[in-house]
Amino acid sequence: MGEFVRLEVTDGIGTIRLERPPVNALNTQVQEELRAAAHAAAADASVRAVVVHGAGKHFAAGADITEFTSVTYQEMVARVHALSGAFDTVARIPKPVVAAITGYALGGGCELALACDWRVIAEDAKLGQPEIKLGLIPGAGGTQRLARLIGPAKAKDLIFSGRMVDSAEALRIGLADRVVPAAEVYAAAVDLVRQYTTGPALALRAAKQAVDGGLNGDLASGLALESHLFAGLFATDDRLEGTTAFVEKRAPEFTGR
């Protein structure tokens, strides 16, 4: 698909693979190719779940800092929304998405992982938001998604200090969902989402939209969104199949319609 980012589809699972050696630094080209791959995964009906994976030793060691040394305030004002929007496109893929993390997931790499629904990480992986050490803050979702995931106090600890966390701490604070040996990370990520490839695609889309959308507002707004999405699923073939199969005491055969 792109020079540094590809979408590969096998058995209903789309793998968005970053390939920019040696550390998959997220320069502007990678960000735009990532956006294109996320759009393609969202639009492809054969893709029922997604794995975001960094080829090589590292998931993504952050932004390409060489691009930051000469950029002006005016230039960054014009670019910052595209930077954040690339990861937001990943977050908005209306399908289950898991990050498969080996090595470093730092700065923009950690923000990319946060845009996924789950994170499977290697035993020797390191995650963090070190932007403060550059006189910056996370600028592509880190301050918002990290706080929502692990709570504001823990998020401030990581963001204010810029320190890295190992796999044990990441699992303990909820930044990681599974920890496995490095050689097994991609397979474990695929295994996590494989169950969803035969699930009711429209119901899974609605469930993700309800959870993510509800986090952005108050409880009343979230409940209203949930009710709207719940009612809409009564127009789907999978709802009819699921309820009929339950009554008939058999396993449902969902078609994604």
Active site residue 131: yes
Residue 113 exposure: Cα atoms within 13 Å on the Cβ side: 35
What values do phi and psi take at 246, rounded to 5? -65, -45
Pure H helices in 60-184? 73-91, 108-114, 142-150, 152-161, 167-173
Which residue out of 8, 33, 67, 131 is catalytically annotated?
131
Q: How far is CA 40 from CA 48, 75, 112, 137, 214, in A?
A: 12, 28, 17, 30, 25
Alpha carbon dihedral 216, 218, 221, 227, in 10-degree steps, equals: 90
Which residue out of 111, 123, 169, 248 is catalytically annotated?
111
**Is 19 strand, coil or helix?**
coil
Assess contact for 99 and 188: CB atoms under 8 A: no
Active site residue 111: yes
One-letter identity of residue 166: D
The catalytic site residues sit at 111, 131
